[in-house]
Amino acid sequence: MRTKVAIIGGGIVGLSIAYNLVKKGERDVVIIDRKHIGYGSSTRSVAQFRTHFWADENALFAIESRKILLKAGGQLNFNPLVESNGYLWLLYDDEILEAYHRRNMRWSELGVAGRLLSPEDVRVIHPYINTQGMTGAFYGPQNGRLHHDFLMFGYRNAILKEGGKVLEYLEAKKLLMNGNRIRAIETSSEPIEANKVVVAAGVWSNEILQTVGLQLPITPERKEVCVTEPMKPFIKTFVINTKLKSFLIAQTLRGEGIGSLDHPPVKGTLQPGNTIEFLREFSRAAIATIPALRKARMLRVWSGFYEVTPDHSHILGRNPEWPESLYVAAGFSGHGLMMAPLVGKVMAELLLEEKVHPLMKPYSPTRFEEGKEIRETLVIG
Amino acid sequence: MTEEVFEIKLNGERVLCKKGEPLAVCLYRSGVKQFNYSSKHQRSRGFTNLDWWMPERLQSEQDSFLNPYAAINEKGLSLKTPKTGVAHRLLTKTVSKLINSEFPHRPTIRKPPFWRLTSSYLRRDLPHPLPSETKGEAVEPTILETDVLVVGSGISGICFAVKLKELGGKVAVIEGDHICGGHAVYDESTIDSIGKRARDYVETVLKRAKDERVPLLTDVVFNGFFDDGALGIRLGGLRADAPMLLKAKFFVFATGLRDLPCLFENNDLPSHMVASSALKLANYYGVKPGSKGVVIGDSEYAVRTALQLKKIGTSVTLVTGYGNCREVRKEYLAGLQEEGVEITTVVKKMRAEGRGKLEFLTVDDKKLAADFVASAGCWSPALELFGQAGIHIGYSHWMNCLLPMHGWYGQTANPSVFVIGRSSGVLDEHISSAFAEATAYHIAKKLKLKVNENQVMTRLNDAKETLSRRYPQNYEAYCKLVNCYEAGEVLNEPRPKPVYAEDPRKVFVCVCEDVTLDDIYRGVKVHGFQDIELLKRYTGIGTGKCQGKICLTNVVYAISDLTGKPPSVVGTFRQRPMVVTTSLESLEALRS
C-alpha cells in the first residue's frame, strides 16, 4: 500500500491530525492502530479540558485548542458533549493560594481569568464539599468536560467520509529506511509505503521509534480511573483536592461520578490493571472531600497511561537530525485529549506546508538537549 | 407458627411484607410490578431478574442506592423509587420519537448554542438518587484465606468442595445470593439422569457439605481480580456492604448459567422476567408470577419452567423457535401436551402489548393473553469473571451459549482459574457434578494431596462415559469445546438467524442504559462500528448498573446477526471490576 501520510496510532491525536489533513484537502492519509481506535489511552480518559496551565506555552496552546473544541459540535457529525463546568482546585496552603493569585493575573491577561474563592465562598457555592482545613480554592470557569469517545468518532467519521483510511488491528512493527528517509512501515500485514510518517502512538511511541534507533524522553505512568453508579447531578464542577494525592472527581452528563487519584505510583510498566489499594485510597479521599459520596456505589474501575515527559509537556514536530519524513506527536503527559484539536491543526500545517505554527515552536523534540524545557508545574494526577 | 407480616411504605403507600423476604419479592407479591422508570423513553420498567446483580434501585432514608433483591425488608421501612423531575419528563415526552443513541448527535442538537441549553436541561434532574450523608455503622473488613475458593454454591460447586475437603484440601464456597444451592433450590422438576427432584438432590448435597463442615458464605460476591489480590464483598442489603479480601491458590468458578431476557418488541414491559426469577418467585417464595404466563425457549430448561409454572396453577404457553438452535425433544413435547401446556412456534417476530403492564404477547400473528412472560431462550455464564481472568470465550451452537474455553478438568488459560458446572457446558446437574469431582481430584493433585493418578483418570472417564451415554448431543458439544481449548483455539460456531421484531426501536437490549436494538443497528450499519468495544462506547451498552450482565450476550448475537461473523469472533467487550457495585464507605474500610 502507498500513501502520502501514514500515522501510527489511532488515538485522539492521530485522528485529529488525519482529520485536519483531510479537511485541508489531503485525502491520501492512512491511520494504523494495533487495536481499535482509542484503545490505548483515548478511551480511558477522565475527559476533562482546561486552559489553566502554569507555563505560558501550555496555557496559550490550551486556550487555542479549547476554541476549536467549542466549535467541534457544529463541525463534526458527532457531538463531543462539551460542557464548560469549570475546574475547582481546593487549596490547603496560604503560599500556594498566593501563587495562584499571582498566576491568575497572568491568566487574566491571556483572557482566561479565574476566581479565587474563600472557604466560605466554597461552602455557599458548593455546599457538598468539606472545607475543613482549606485556605481557599481556585475556580477556572473556562475549563470543562467533553465526551472523549464522541470526539474521536467525529474525527473518524469525517476522515472516512473524505476518503482517508483508518486501519484497525494492524500493528506497525518497524520503520523501514531508505538512505536517510523513512521509506515504509512494516506492519503485521503488507508494508505501508509513505512519503511522511507521523508517530502518534502515545506511550508506545518509543517502541516504534527504537526500530530506527531513536528514543524520546517519555515515561509511562499508570493511572487508575473509576466511575460510580449514576447519581442526581450534585457535583457542579470538576473538583481537585490538591492535598489528597490529587483526588479528582466530576459528574458526567449521565450522572456518574468519574474520578481518579494519583495512587499507587506505577511507573515504567505497561500492564493495564487495577489495585485494591486504589479503591481504598480513592474512597477515603472521596469521602474526605465530598462526604455525601459515602453511599455512592463504585461501578467500574480501569486504568490508562500518562505519557510523561520531563517537563510535563508534549513533543511535536521533528528533530532535524532524524531521518527525513519522520514526525512525532507524543508525550502529552495527560493532556492529549484537551490539546488534540490544536495539535491536529498545527501538525497538518507542518506536514503539508512545512509551516511551524508559532504556538507549536516551544514543543520541539530538540528542547531537552537545548535546555529549553517548558516550566510546567501545574500537574494534575 | 404464623409467619410474621408487617408493613413498609413505597412512595407513601402501604405494602405488606413477610419477614425475611427480599424487598423485590414483597413488592411483586403486593402487585407492585413497576420498579423503575426509563428516563430516556418515559416507559415503565419492571425487573428482569431477581438476583444480587439486579440493576433496579430503591431509595430509603439511609441509603439511596438499595438493591431491591439484596436488601431484606425490615419493619418501618419507607422507600421511594427514583423519579425524573417534571422538566425532564416534559422535554423527553416532547421529543420522545427522536430519542435514541443518535439524539445528541443530531445536527440541530449538537450545534454549540443549542447543546449548551440541552445539556443543562438534561443535567438538571436525572432519575437517579441523590446520595445521603448518613453515616452507617462501622464496616469490618475480613480476610478469607483458603487453598481453593469456589464461587457459586450450586450443585457442582458444592460437590466439588465436598470432594476436595474429603481429599484433605482447604476449601471455601462463596455465594452471592441469600440462598445456597443455586437454581436447583427452586427447581421442582426431576433430574433425568438420576430420576430425582432437583430440589431434593441439592438438599442431600448441601447436607453433605454441612457434615463435612465446608465453609459456605452466602451474600458474598466475588468482586474482581486486582493486581494486589482478589476482592469479595459481603452484600449488606439495608446495612453497609463489607469488603472481604479473598486469598486462594485456586479459584473455581461454578457460577452456572444466567437466564437473560429474550428480545422482542416492548420487552421492557413490567412482568417480563427471566425464567429463573419466575421459578424463584413461584417455588421458593411462594409468589405466583401471574395467572397467564408465556415461557419462551427451546431447551429442556424452558420445558421444565413451563411444566412447573403450570403446576402452580397458571395457564402456560410455551413459545419455541426463538433461539433456533435445537428442537425440543419429542418426549418432552408429549409430556407438555399431557399437562395442558400449549405450544406454539415463533417464526418471524414477537411483540408484547399492554399499558404500563404486560397484557398480550403476539407471536407472529397469534395473540396470546399473558400477564407475565418468562424468558428461557437466552443464557450466558458469568462472562465478566472469565473476561477478568483472561479466559477466552467461545460459542457453542448446541448449547446456544457463549462459553469459557477450558479443558477436561475445567482448566483454563489462567493457571489459577477453573470452570465447572453448567457454565463449563454440561447441562445435567448430576453429570456436571461428576465432572466437578474429577476437577477436585485434579486440583488435589496440584495441591500435593494424596491422590493417585488412576483415581483422577477414573473419575473423569466415568463422567465422560455417563454424559456420552445419556446426552450424546451435549457430549459432542462439550468435546468440541474441550478439543478446541486443547488445540489452543476458540470454538467458533455460527449462530442461526434469530427471531426479533418488526420495530427494533421498541426492543430493549440494555435496560440499564436504555439501549434498543435500533441503536445497535444504527451503530453497526450507519456508523460502521463493527467492533463491539466501539459499539459499546457509541451506545453505552454494558456501562450501566449491571455492567453488561444482562445485555452482553444479546449484543454479541445482534452484531453477529448483522455482520455475519460468528459470536466468538465478534467477541465480548472488556468487563472490568466491579462485579457488583460497592459503596465507597465499604471500600474505605479496607485496611492497608
Same-domain check for residues A227 and A302: yes
Tell me which amino acid residue B352 is.
Answer: A
Same domain membership, residue A138 and residue A152: no
Burial of B8 (0-12, 13-18, 19+ CB in 10 A): buried
3-state secondary structure B137-159: CCCCCEEEECCEEEECCCHHHHH
User: For chain B, which domains are there?
Assistant: 5-79 (3.10.20.440), 86-124 (no CATH), 142-252+399-466 (3.50.50.60)
Q: Which of B177, B155, B157 lies closest to B165 in space, CA to CA?
A: B157
Residue B1 has pLDDT above 50, yes or no: no
**What average pLDDT score do residues A137-147 get?**
97
In terms of DSSP H, where are the helices of B217-354? 275-279, 300-311, 330-339
Q: Where a domain ends, among A274, A292, A308?
A: A308
Is B227 in contact with A275 (Cβ distance < 8 A)? yes
Q: Which of A255, A290, A308 is the last residue of a domain?
A: A308
Q: Which range (A140-149, A167-176, B35-44, B97-106) has the least confidence? A: B35-44
Tell whether A380 is covered by a domain. Answer: no
Which residue is closest to A285 within chain B, CA to CA? B588
On whether both A329 and A239 belong to a single domain, the answer is: no
- B453 confidence band (pLDDT: 50, 70, 90): confident
C-alpha torsion angle, residues B558, B505, B575, B533 (rounded to 10): 70
Between CA A216 and CA A194 the distance in angstroms is 22
Residues of chain A neighbouring B245 (CB-CB closer than 8 A): 276
Arithmetic mean of pLDDT over chain B:
91
Q: Tell me the three-class secondary structure of A349-364, residue by residue.
A: HHHHHCCCCCCCHHHC
Query: How far apart are alpha carbons B162 and B215 in whole angstroms?
Result: 10
Q: What is the pLDDT of residue B130?
A: 84
Instruction: pLDDT band for A269, please (50, 70, 90 cuts).
Output: low
Q: Are A361 and A313 in contact (CB under 8 A)?
A: no
- DSSP category for residue A147: -
Percent pLDDT > 70 in chain A is: 99
| Predicted local distance difference test score (pLDDT) of residue B2 | 59
Mutate to test the interface with A, among B61, B587, B592 (most CBs of A within 10 A): B587
**How many CB atoms neighbour CB A224 within 10 A?**
28
Model pLDDT, residue B500: 82
What's the whole-number mean pLDDT along residues B56-81?
A: 89
User: Residues B329, B300: contact at Cβ < 8 Å?
Assistant: yes
- The pLDDT of residue A268 is above 70: no
pLDDT above 90 coverage of chain B, percent: 72
Quote the pLDDT of residue B333.
83
Per the CB < 8 A criterion, the answer to whether A315 and A328 are in contact is yes
CA distance B225 to B248: 12
* B278-321: pLDDT as tens digits: 999 999 999 999 999 999 998 888 999 999 999 999 999 999 98
CA atoms of B216 and B165, how far apart (whole Å): 13
Instruction: Kindly state whether residues A253 and A110 are assigned to the same domain.
Output: yes
Q: Predicted confidence band at A381 (pLDDT cuts at 50, 70, 90)?
A: low
The secondary structure of residue B25, as a DSSP letter, is H
Asked if residue A61 is part of any domain, the answer here is no
Determine, yes or no, domain membership for A204. Answer: yes
Per the domain annotation, does A74 fall within a domain? no
Minimal Cα–Cα distance from B511 to chain A, Å? 14
- Higher pLDDT pick, B130 / A140: A140
> Could you tell me the pTM of the whole model?
0.95
Q: Check pLDDT > 80 for residue B42.
A: no
Residue A336 shares a structural domain with residue A300? no
Give the chain B residue nearest A153 (alpha carbons): B538
Nearest to B31 by CA among B226, B283, B204, B288: B288
pLDDT for A76-103, tens place per residue?
999 999 999 999 999 999 999 999 999 9
Pairing of strands B242-247, B229-234: antiparallel
Same domain, A11 and A136: no
From B82, which residue of chain A is nearest by alpha-carbon distance? A232
Same domain for A191 and A293? no
Closest residue in B to A302 (Cα–Cα): B576
| A99 and A206 part of one domain | no
**Which of A257, A280, A308 is the endpoint of a domain?**
A308
The answer to whether residue A267 scores a pLDDT higher than 70 is no
| CB atoms inside a 10 Å sphere around CB B190 | 16
Q: How far is A161 from chain B (nearest CA, A)?
A: 11
- Looking up residue A162, the CATH number of its domain turns out to be 3.50.50.60
Across the interface, do B588 and A292 touch by the CB < 8 Å criterion?
Answer: no
Domain annotation covers residue A225:
yes
Q: Which runs of E-coded beta strand occur in B454-573? A: 508-510, 515-516
pLDDT confidence of residue B168: 96
Domain shared by A292 and A156, yes or no? no
State yes or no: cis peptide before A264, omega within 30 of 0.
Answer: yes
Cβ neighbours around B366 below 10 Å, total? 12
Cβ proximity of B240 and B134 under 8 Å = no
| Digit-coded pLDDT (tens) for B550-577 | 999 999 999 999 999 999 999 999 999 9
Q: Cα–Cα distance between A98 and A78 in angstroms, integer?
A: 41
**pLDDT tens string A321-359:** 999 999 999 999 999 999 999 999 999 999 999 999 999
Quote the domain boundaries for residue A102.
Answer: 84-143+219-308
Name the β-bridge partners of A327: A198
DSSP strand pairing (B148-151 vs B250-253):
parallel
Q: Is B585 exposed, middle or buried (0-12, 13-18, 19+ CB in 10 A)?
A: buried
Residues B538 and B522: their CA atoms lie apart, in Å, by: 10
Same domain, A277 and A229: yes
Distance of CA B514 to the CA centre of its chain: 18
**Cα B169 vs. chain centroid, distance in angstroms?**
30
Do A202 and A292 lie in a common domain?
no
Cell (9 digits) for B119? 445539556
Is A78 contained in some domain?
no
Please count the residues of chain A. Answer: 381
Average pLDDT for residues A299-314, to the nearest whole number?
A: 95
Contact A279 B231 (CB under 8 A): yes
CB-based contact A231 B540, cutoff 8 Å: no
Strand (E) or helix (H) holding B114: helix B112-124
Nearest Cβ partner for B584 among A71, A150, A293: A293
**Residues A184-197: tens digit of each pLDDT:** 999 999 999 999 99
The Cα of B225 is separated from the nearest Cα of chain A by a number of Å equal to 8
Does residue B442 register a pLDDT over 50?
A: yes
**Structural element, H or E, at residue B538:** helix B532-539
The whole-number pLDDT of residue A22 equals 98
Distances (CA, A) of A209 to A30, A179, A343, B262: 18, 17, 20, 50
Q: Which three cell numbers stand for residue A158?
A: 469525517
Q: What is the tally of structural domains in chain A?
A: 2
CATH number for the domain that contains residue A239:
3.30.9.10
| pLDDT exceeds cutoff 80 at A54 | yes
d(CA B220, CA B229): 16
User: How much is the average pLDDT of A118-124?
Assistant: 97
Mean pLDDT computed over B121-144: 82
Contact assignment for A43 to B533 by CB distance below 8 Å: yes
> Would the pLDDT of A175 be above 80?
yes
Of A83, A255, A287, the CB nearest to B128: A255
CB atoms within 10 A of CB B453: 9
Asked if residue A378 is part of any domain, the answer here is no
Q: Is residue A325 part of a domain?
A: yes
How is B467-499 classified by DSSP, letter by letter?
HHHH-HHHHHHHHHHHHHHHTT---B---PPPP
What integer best gives the mean pLDDT of chain A? 95
Specify the range with the lowest mean pLDDT, choosing from B103-107, B198-202, B588-592. Answer: B588-592
Contact between B225 and B310 (Cβ < 8 Å): no
B129 vs A contacts (CB less than 8 Å): 231-232
- ω into residue B578 within 30 of 0, thus cis? yes
- The reply to whether A304 and A167 lie within a common domain is no
Residue B242, SS3 per DSSP: strand
